[in-house]
Amino acid sequence: MPLAAMAEWQRQCPSSARQTATSTAHVNHHPHLLTQATDMQTLSAKTLAPYSVRFFSSSAGPNVLPTSTSPMSTSNSNSHAAAAPPSPSNPSSSSNSTSSSPSPSPIVDRIRLHGLRFYGHHGVYEYERVSGQRFEVDIVLEVADLTQAGEKDDLQGTIDYGVVADVIRGRMEGSPVKLLECLALTIIDDLFDRFDASRLSSVDITLRKPNVNLGCILQHAAVQMKRTRQQRQCQRNKEQ
């Protein structure tokens, strides 16, 4: 194309048309480029056709890729569904939870006597046996269910702690012994003998000597002992 005609053509034609014409002239001058471009377009169309069809046919819209339907993804979804926990609304699961509820624990009630005071002559030293001294007693009795005594207001449904105090008094004011341990265990045995197993199951007793002379200032010396009926019975059997 002569230079003058080229300049007039550039002035009159828009840029897009010039680009198209230039590309066409370039391709005409090099025909092997047209063959390569045609082959690439054919290959791209064959390769992307399945995906483009699924892409634009998706129910979610043209811009959302559909979920894969490969065998691997199907098996994974099935496994997740199988591992899902049972629905809370399932009546069988609720009935099983109701039937497996734990049973209530046995009722154990207690009777306490605190700060009982007696004057006795117990002790290792001679002056303790001659002059005597004050003793204090705390006791806790584990007993059977006291619901009946509370509902019927009936002394027969519980342990008379007046009787308990008399049993303790008989030992604390009775024949002297050397050790508080001996006093505590004797009182425990007396109470188990006085009340049957259906009433009394355990005794926890504390004996205190407030005026013990140890050459220093102290509030009291004490011994605490607790025994269940079964424990004490085993100990007695071994002693025989």
* 29-66 as b/e: b if 16+ CB within 10 A: eeeeeeeeeeeeeeeeeeeeeeeeeeeeeeeeeeeeee
Do the beta carbons of residue 122 and residue 174 sit within 8 Å?
Answer: no
156 vs 199: CA distance, rounded Å = 10
Active site residue 209: yes
Half-sphere exposure of 22 (CA within 13 A, CB side): 10
H helix runs in the chain, sequence order: 3-12, 15-29, 31-56, 71-82, 91-99, 126-131, 147-152, 161-172, 180-194, 229-239
CA–centroid distance for 223 within its chain: 38
Given the residues 46, 152, 178, 209, the one annotated as active site: 209
| Alpha-carbon torsion, ordered 238, 193, 136, 120, to 10 deg | -90
Q: Which positions are catalytic?
A: 209
